[in-house]
Chain A
Amino acid sequence: MSGPDPTRAGFDEYVAARMPALVRTAYLLTGSHQDAEDLVQVALVKAVPHWKKIADHPEPYVRKILAREAVNRWRTRRWREVHTDQVPETAVDEPVDDRVALRRALAALPPRQRAVIVLRYYEDLTEAETARALGISVGTVKSQARDALARLRTEGLATVSA
C-alpha cells in the first residue's frame, strides 16, 4: 500500500505558506478580492503538472503564471464586457484616500503596465526577472514601467516615486 505522496505534501506546504502573499499580489493585479483568489487558485492548479520540476523553487514559476494569467484574463474579459448607457452612481466630491486613488489609478492602467508596476515595485523584481515573468523584453519592461509611472502621476498620484 502506498503512503502519502511526498510531492503533494510539499505542494500543500507551499500553498499554506504562500497563499496570503500570492493573494495580495493577485489583488494588486486584478483589483478585486474575488478575482484575486480565483487567479491564485488557477495559478496553483496550473503549477501542479510541473511541480516535480519546480518543487525546489516554485515561486518564479507560480508568479509567472499569475502575471500572465492576469494579463490574458483582462484581454479576454475586455471582449466579453457588455457596454451600457447607464453610469453607476458615484459619490461626487467625496474625498478619497490614497489607497482608493491608487486602486483607481491601477485599474486605469493597461494590464501589462499594471503587471509591470506590481512585479517591479511591489514584488521588487529586477527588470530582467519582470521580463522573464511576463515573457517580454527588458526594453519593453522599461518602457511599460516609464509609461505606467507617468500615467499614475497624471491620475492624481502626484507624489508617486519609484
Chain B
Amino acid sequence: MTTLHDRLAELADDVPSGGPAPDLWDRGRRYRRARLAGTVVIVAAAAVVVALVAGISWQRSVPPAPQPAGTPAGLPDRVYAPSRWLPGTDDEGPLGQLAAVVSAERGSWTGTSYELVGISATTGEYRFLDVPGSGEVESALAPDGRHIAYWLTGEPSGAPNGDAPIVGFAVYDTTTGDTVRQAIETEHGLAVDDLAWADDHRLVLDYGQWAEAGDGDGMSNRYGTWTWDLTTGAAPIRLDGENYSSFASVVGDGKVVVSMAKGYGLLDLDDPGDDPLPIRIRRSDNMTSTPVVDPRGQHVAGVWGGSDLDGQSVPNKVKAGSVPAGGGFAELSLVPDSARSLEVLQWTGPTEIAVIRAPEPDAERVALQRLDVETGTSTAVTTYDWNDGNQPTFATDLLGAPTFDAEEPPGPLDPRLVAGLIVGTVLVAAGLLLLWRRRVRP
C-alpha cells in the first residue's frame, strides 16, 4: 500500500521544474529597500508627532523664571486662575512664605477635586498644597503667609455625620511642609462655621457638634468660639462669655470682632476675660457687611449697600468713621470715590483700608486696592478673576508691601491627553507599519 508521502510525491512530480529567474536577488534588494523606506518614513513621522506632543507638554509645564533671589516678600500684581495640572508640594516641596491661597480644581487620572493652591510671596510660583487630611476647601492663611489652618477630617468616636466628618483642625507650615494636628473630641463630627487667624500664631475657631449621624446635615448644637495658640499647641480655649456670642471678623494684632447682643465688640485675645469694647452701627447707616475695625478700636469701615457689581441699583460705596472712646455708636460717612466696592478686608493704616473693588460695571476682574478713607485716593495692589468663584485669601501683612510683576503660572496639558496621544500615535504607527510591510510586494 502506498503511503500519503508517496502519493504526494507522485502528484508533485507532475509539475515541471521551475524556469530560471535571474533577477531574484535584485528584486529582493529592491523589496528590502522599499520595506526599509516605508518603515523609516512611518517611524520618523511617529517620532515627530510624539516629539511634538512631548515638546508642547514640556513647554506648557515649564514654570516662568522666578523672582530674583532676595526679592522682598510681597503680593503679585495679578492672580491667575491656576491650571488643574499644576504640580503639588509633595512633588516639588513647600513654597515658603505665601502671598495668597486660592481653591482650584485639581485633576487626577480618575477625576477632579477642589484643593488649595498656594502662591509664593517671594518667587510668584503656583503649586497645589498637599496638606494631609484636608476635608474642606475652607482654609485660613496667616497674616504673614507662613501658616495655613484648615479643618481636619477623620473618624469621630461615634457614627459619622457625612462622608468626611471633621474631627479637628490642622496647621500647615508653608516653609517646612510640616503639619500640626489638633484633634477635638466629637461623637458625630464637628459642624464648622469659621476658622481665622487673629495674628500670626493665634487661631479663632467657631464650631458646634453634630447631634446625630447623617449625610452631612441635620441637627447641630453646642456652638462656641475658641482660640488656639500655635506656639504652645495647648488645647483650644473657649472664648464666648456672657456678653458676646460668636466670632464675627478678624482685626489683626490678636484682636477680633465678636457678635454681641446689641452690635459688635472688639475683643483682645490677650485679655479674653475683659468685656469687649462695644461697637454699634446705626441702622440708618445701612451697612451690609460686618464692620471692619482697626486694632486700636478707633476706626470702623464697611460696605454700604448691596454687593451688586453694576453699582447702579445699590451704591456699593464704603462708609468709614470713628468709634467714640470707650465704645458706642460709630460716626460714619461715605468715602469719596469708593463706588463698586465689594468688601473691606482690613485697616492697613490710620486712614487707609484694603478693599475689593470692581474697576468698572460688569468687570470680569476685580481689584484689591488700598483706599484712603479721607481722600478717596486708591492704590492698586492686585487683580483677580471675579467670575472664577474662588476668591483668593491674601497674607494681610503684605497688603502694604510693594507688589511684584506676576508671571503667568504654567498650564500643563492633561497628562491623560498626552499619554493618549503618544500611545495612539505609537499604535497608529505600528498599524501602518504592519500594513505597509504586508502590502509591499516583492
The chain A residues found within 8 Å of chain B, CB to CB, are 8, 11-12, 15, 19-20, 22-25, 27-28, 33, 36-37, 40-42, 44-49, 51, 98-99, 102-103, 106, 117-118, 121-122, 124, 149, 152, 159-162
Contacts and interface: CB of A to CB of B under 8 A. Distances in A.
Contacts of B35: 49
B162 interface: no
B18 A48 contact: no
Contact of B17 (A15, A20, A46, A159): A20
Contact of B8 (A20, A49, A118, A159): A118
Contacts of B16: 33
Given A40-B18, A45-B442, A162-B4, 6 more contacts: A11-B24, A45-B28, A46-B31, A47-B28, A48-B32, A122-B8
Interface of B: 1-5, 7-19, 21, 24-25, 27-29, 31-32, 35, 441-442
B442 A42 contact: yes
Nearest to B36: A49
A102 B11 contact: yes
A24 B15 contact: yes
Q: From DSSP, what is the main secondary structure of chain B's interface residues?
A: helix
Contacts of A103: 11
B14 A27 contact: yes
Contacts, number: 99
Given A22-B18, A37-B18, A46 B28 contact: yes
A47 B442 CA distance: 10
A15 B28 CA distance: 13
Contacts of A44: 21, 24, 28
Contact of A19 (B2, B18, B442): B18
Given A23-B17, A27-B15, A36-B15, A48 B24 contact: yes
A18 B5 CA distance: 19
Given A19-B17, A20-B17, A49-B35, A12 B4 contact: no
Top 3 nearest A-B pairs (CB, nearest first) are A48-B28, A45-B442, A49-B32
A161 B18 contact: no
B19 A122 contact: no
B380 to A, nearest CB: 72
Nearest to A43: B442
A45 B24 contact: yes
B5 A24 contact: no
Contacts of B441: 42
B442 A23 contact: no
A54 B154 CA distance: 69
A121 B12 contact: no
Contacts of A15: 21, 24
| Chain A interface, DSSP helix/strand/loop, else mixed | helix
A48 B15 contact: no
13 contacts: A11-B25, A23-B15, A27-B12, A44-B21, A44-B24, A47-B28, A99-B7, A102-B8, A117-B4, A117-B8, A121-B4, A121-B8, A161-B1
A27 B15 CA distance: 7
Contacts of A124: 5
Given A99-B11, A118-B8, A41 B17 contact: no
Contacts of B14: 27, 99
B25 A48 contact: yes
B31 A45 contact: yes
Contacts of B31: 45-46, 48-49
A42 B11 CA distance: 22
B25 A12 contact: yes
A34 to B, nearest CB: 10
A113 to B, nearest CB: 13
Contacts of B32: 48-49
Given A23-B15, A48-B25, A49-B35, A162 B8 contact: no
A8 to B, nearest CB: 5
A161 B5 CA distance: 9
B18 A25 contact: no
B7 A102 contact: yes
A12 B22 CA distance: 8
B200 to A, nearest CB: 74
A149 B3 CA distance: 12
Contacts of A159: 1-2
B435 to A, nearest CB: 13
Nearest to A49: B32
Contacts of A49: 28-29, 31-32, 35
Contacts of A11: 24-25, 28
